[in-house]
Amino acid sequence: PPPYTGVWMGDSKLCAIGVHCRNHITSHGLALNCCTDLTWFEHIVPCGLEGKGVTSLSHELGHHVAVSHVLQPFLDSFQEVFDCTLVSSEGPG
């Protein structure tokens, strides 16, 4: 919920988005909870947000959602939204 970043389902964060700048280098990323073991979040204050929870696609949809099922549709949508072509830095194999 505003003003918090990320993707939310009610008061629970489904996806974290972050940017880090240090020594003139910027890094960024996101963490989409697909089939995350949510019990780990019981021991911390996720993202430093008191009173907010964490959820996953598997929890919200009521069935196992593997990263492998989400990755290609996510990448396709990313390319479409940002009008770009993604290039893998990994070699064959």
Per DSSP bridges, beta strands 53-54 and 12-22 are parallel
The confidence score (pLDDT) of residue 47 equals 82
Spatial neighbors of 71 by CB under 8 A, at least 6 apart, are: none
User: From first to last of its 93 residues, what are the pLDDT tens digits of the chain?
Assistant: 568 889 999 999 999 988 899 999 999 898 999 999 999 999 999 888 888 999 999 999 999 999 999 999 999 999 999 999 999 887 665
The confidence score (pLDDT) of residue 46 equals 85
Q: What is the pTM of this model?
A: 0.79
Task: With H, G, I as helix, E, B as strand and everything else as coil, classify residue 29.
Answer: strand
Helical segments of 22-91, H only: 57-61, 67-82
The confidence score (pLDDT) of residue 91 equals 61
DSSP per residue, 11-25: TEEEEEEEEEEETTE
For the annotated catalytic residues, the residue numbers are 47
